[in-house]
Amino acid sequence: MLKIVDRLAELIYAIFTIILRPFSYILAGGIIVATPLYLIVWIIEFYTTSM
């Protein structure tokens, strides 16, 4: 019975690893790219509307 639980736990861990690892890379890449772009656009918009 314990081996079944161990295999089930390994299966669940593998599935979540396969699903969450690419998602975390996509999320981190989006944050790394989107944050500076958003700040640049915000600064440009701030200066163009204030002049």
Whole-number Å distance between alpha carbons of 3 and 29: 38
Residue 43, judged by CB atoms within 10 A of its CB (0-12, 13-18, 19+), counts as exposed
- pTM over cut 0.75: no
Asked whether residue 8 is assigned to any structural domain, the reply reads no
Overall number of domains in the chain: 1
Q: What is the pLDDT of residues 1-51, one digit of tens each?
A: 789 999 999 999 999 999 999 999 999 999 999 999 999 999 999 999 877
pLDDT at 17: 92
* Residue 36, domain extent: 24-51
